[in-house]
Amino acid sequence: MNPLLKNPAQWPLVKLKGLTSHGKLPDEADRALAQITVGSYDMIAWIHSSGRCGLSGSGWSMYVDMTKSEGNPQREEGFSGPVEPAVGISRESKVRLFCTPTRMLIRVEGQMSEPSVSGDAVAQPVNGGLNAVVGSWEAQKESLPGATVTPGG
Confidence of residue 94 (pLDDT cuts 50, 70, 90): very high
Q: How confident is the model at residue 53 (pLDDT cuts 50, 70, 90)?
A: very high
d(CA 8, CA 10): 5
Look at residue 153 in the predicted model and tell me its pLDDT. 65
Core vs surface per residue 99-133: b (16+ CB within 10 A) or e: bbbbbbbbbbeebeeebbbbbbbbbbbeeebbbbb
Please check the confidence at residue 152 and state whether its pLDDT lies above 80: no
pLDDT of residue 73: 80
Instruction: Of 69-73, 121-125, 127-131, give the lowest mean pLDDT range.
Output: 69-73
In this prediction the pTM is 0.92
Q: What is the CB neighbour count within 10 angstroms for residue 16? A: 20
Q: How far apart are CA 58 and CA 148, in angstroms?
A: 25
Q: Is the pLDDT of residue 1 over 60?
A: no
**pLDDT computed for residue 20 by the predictor:** 80
Q: Report the alpha-carbon distance of residue 153 to residue 142 in Å, rounded.
A: 19
